[in-house]
Amino acid sequence: MSRVYVALDLETTGLSPERDAIIEIGAVRFKGDQVLDTWCSLVNPGRSLPYRIQHLTGITQAQLNSAPSLSEIRAPLVRLVGDAPVVGHNIPFDLGFLRRHGLLTANPAVDTFELASILVPYAARYSLGTLAEHLGINFPTRHRALDDARATMNLFLALLDRAANLDLKTIQEINRLAAHTDWPLKTVFRDIERDRSRTFYTGSIGQQLWAKGGLEDGGISLLLNQGDKVEPLRPLSRPEPVDANALVAMLETGGLLARAFPGYEYRPQQVEMLRAVVQAFNHGAHLLVEAGTGTGKSIAYLLPAVHYAAANNRRVVISTNTINLQDQLFAKDLPDLKKILPLDFRVALLKGRSNYLCRRRLEAMRHRTDLNVDEVRVLAKVLAWLPTTTSGDVAELNLMQQEQSVWARLAGDPETCQPETCAHADHCFFYRAHDRAAAAHVVVVNHALLLSDLALDGRALPEYQHLIVDEAHHLEARATEQMGFDVDQAQLAGLFNALSHPQRLDQPGGFLAEIAGAVRRHKVPEPARREVEKMIDALCDAVDRAQRQLHNLFNVLSRCLDELIERRGQPSTYDLQVRLTPGLRAQPAWSNVEIAWTDFSLPLDEVYGGLDRLYKRLSDIDTTVLANLDAWLVELAGYRRRVGELIVHLNAILCEPAADSIYWVSVDARDETISLHAAPLHVGPVLESKLFSQKECVVLTSATLRAGDGFDFVKERLGLWDVREHAVGSPFDYTRSTLLYLPTDIPEPGEAYYQKTLERALIELCTATRGRTLVLFTSHSQLQTTYKAISRPLGEAGIAVLGQGLDGSRSQLLETFKTDGGSVLLGTRSFWEGIDVVGEALSCLVIARLPFDVPNDPIFAARSEHFDEPFSQFAIPQAILRFRQGFGRLIRSQTDRGVVTVLDRRVMTKSYGRLFLEALPPCTMRRGVIGDLPAAAAQWLANSRQPSAVSGQ
């Protein structure tokens, strides 16, 4: 490597260049593996240093008070860096701080985070420390600027070495795609190509084969052809029942599982659930089974499922809501069982088409000449990953949020996929996954794919009659999403832009321009060519008019919302949601929206009609005359379908609503983006008619299915009435492990001093428990207010406060919370479930408010109207289920011990409060003044260190 680089790292008081300040800068100037110079300095930020940053870096306030200001160290920093490219891990973050002060504004930037996401596609995480460990880089001291800069230099060099494993053809293709863009990594890949070209013919076997013409597309063809095709299952006509006693014997003390897995514990509740699942399979019945935390429910349903499927050559589909559980089943639980069971059974993981790369669409994007930076970045990731993947699953890639829309144009699409005419059908990732699923006894899917299969009349999944739905308390919400519709102005504009847009030198670009260019280049007969070009010109005009009317429609919508809501008086931190009720549609302001929709729908109809006519005309052209015609037709059909769907959905939302649907408009508080939404009023009838009544056996399970003594609420929501019911308690001894403290003197939410009392209580409680606390909120605004109030006093006590949406991603917050051992984590809705922190790191759980839905949420409000007593029949059961989920975050093992406190006095003062308490497992409950809470919590946790505290569990 002949180029000189400077590795750079900053430590700061926070994450915002506008609000936070630099406290340390470190830089390493290097060429190859030779360090030319190093420089580091603390920086006085002119403000107090948050304890969380002191704790993370080890930098003290006293050190900063005597440090130079940023203006005093400008000269040595600029002198060291010069005009060299700046290398950093997430370098936009560092440069955002520096360039705000006019520093390093012209230096090229190289982001090792982005480079690693291309060259190390299978990494579990992409933090600097994790990548250093993954690549064997010594990195003993972290979160100090110079040490981090050194690690970044070594990471950059390791990534360049990693690039040596890429085929030269892949590197050249990446550089070809990036040639006309300002992609920051373009220079790096040019250098890689130059260095690789020198050693190409002495490289790997794969490179030598390519040079001889032995490999196509970097080896992907050979890779995809590996392995024999497995025949689909052939079910027995008369199924054999599963022997429940034989399976129970495996779970007994000294049984098969105990012998295979050290630390395995016999749990009567697991046996009870297993017997219920076996009966459902043997008798062809539907089953609702609630299994408390610690039951081991996955083994309780996997053993019957595997044995029934293997004995009868029948398929069992298992559906989960979260990726974590899906991965646990497919990558751990099922392989573990496969090792120890004397059965020959096959397992497959199947996802929706949008998760799999479509090679036809990849080729189409590679041939475009108007790529933007996001498209080049995603193509680089895909091309570097393609020779090594056997699944084509996007989960193996690290894509940023803004890159998801690019992936959507590379992924499989059920409406445009025609395997009989696709040149890549034999190597299709989705169909290979589907073939594996068709030959598998157990197929693991997620709720989204399960519900897509209903919408596609069984075309998404292989035929099955036995289904297990884990995390079933999410099924209604996922069905609502799957059957709903959402779109915003940017998405609509993106669709039109993909069809047609102005390009360099005022030349048209987009899909339609590509077809026109192909028709001109090939020997299409003159009359047909002129006719196609005329159609495309008319289509481009219609797209242009639609773009203009789209802008007008959303401007009118914005003015209408202003007039109806009067929300512009002061900025709001809340997203606005306006339900489109008959009363609102009757307002004079809404008539302007309907007029604007009519104006927009006219060119939109023209776009649809033009796409339809173009499709039919191109279908008449001989494929030998126009190369790649089949691919054009498939894409054209996809655009036609999407425009047709838009016409139907937008007309329903804006003009002609259906009685069985919910419609609303939302406005994002951050950028005022307006979105349009539709959702079904009821999902139960669809689930009953298309799922439950069509399957022989459906088992639905979760830790929280009962909103009281029975399952009536979830049965009504899902339309599931002909079903067996079973509830299995948790094996955990909550009376010994859990103190439930209910303050009697805290104000109720909404009353004076409630927020101040809550903040004071949290400071005193978390000080007494030495952090180790998860606080669950129902709104992000209350979380932010609380975060600001408690961070400094807890920091002075040596306790870091972590806030959702404030201190990093969800996974980063959880990792920090687990490993730090003395932090306070503040979370909202997504933290009420799916968190599994075993041990003392989570010793105290605070529920700030009872988790009722927001009354004006459009879906909640519309569904509430269909109950005689909406609050008691709908709002309370929903809140109880979420309350139980939140409570379940605390005790995750037999040895866990902790404190739960509910800082919402309504649980005692309101008549419905007892329903929440009765829904919890029997704990040690104590009521008292809030001033006694810290001492009570500290004493309870101190007792956990006594051996007798967990004896007998």
Distance CA 290, CA 268 (A): 15
- Other beta carbons within 10 angstroms of residue 636's beta carbon come to 22
Cβ atoms of 882 and 832 within 8 Å: the answer is yes
Angle, helices 489-499/511-521, rounded to nearest 10 degrees: 10
Distances (CA, A) of 846 to 52, 762, 786, 850, 942: 21, 9, 13, 11, 18
The secondary structure of 25-47 as a DSSP string is EEEEEEETTEEEEEEEEE---SS
Please confirm, yes or no, whether 780 is among the known catalytic residues.
no
DSSP category for residue 719: T
Q: Which amino acid, residue 111?
A: D
- Other beta carbons within 10 angstroms of residue 879's beta carbon come to 22
Q: Which amino acid, residue 580?
A: L
Distance CA 22, CA 93 (A): 11
- Backbone torsions φ then ψ of 597, nearest 5 degrees: -65, -40
- The residue among 565, 644, 661 whose CA lies nearest residue 609 is 644
Cβ atoms of 580 and 663 within 8 Å: the answer is yes
Catalytic residue from among 143, 424, 474, 522: 143
Distance CA 804, CA 50 (A): 17
- The residue among 120, 89, 110, 87 whose CA lies nearest residue 381 is 120
| Those residues with Cβ within 8 angstroms of residue 475's Cβ, 6 or more apart along the chain or in another chain | 321, 447, 469, 687, 700, 718
3-state helix, strand, coil in the chain (%, to 5): 50, 15, 35
Distance CA 174, CA 628 (A): 23
Cβ atoms of 774 and 814 within 8 Å: the answer is no
Helix, strand, or coil (residue 135): coil
CB crowding 759-797: b at 16 or more within 10 Å, else e: bbbbbbbbbbbbbbbbbbbbebebbbebbebbbebbbee
Cβ atoms of 637 and 612 within 8 Å: the answer is no
Cβ atoms of 317 and 467 within 8 Å: the answer is yes
Distance CA 615, CA 640 (A): 9
Query: Any idea which residues carry the catalytic annotation?
Result: 143
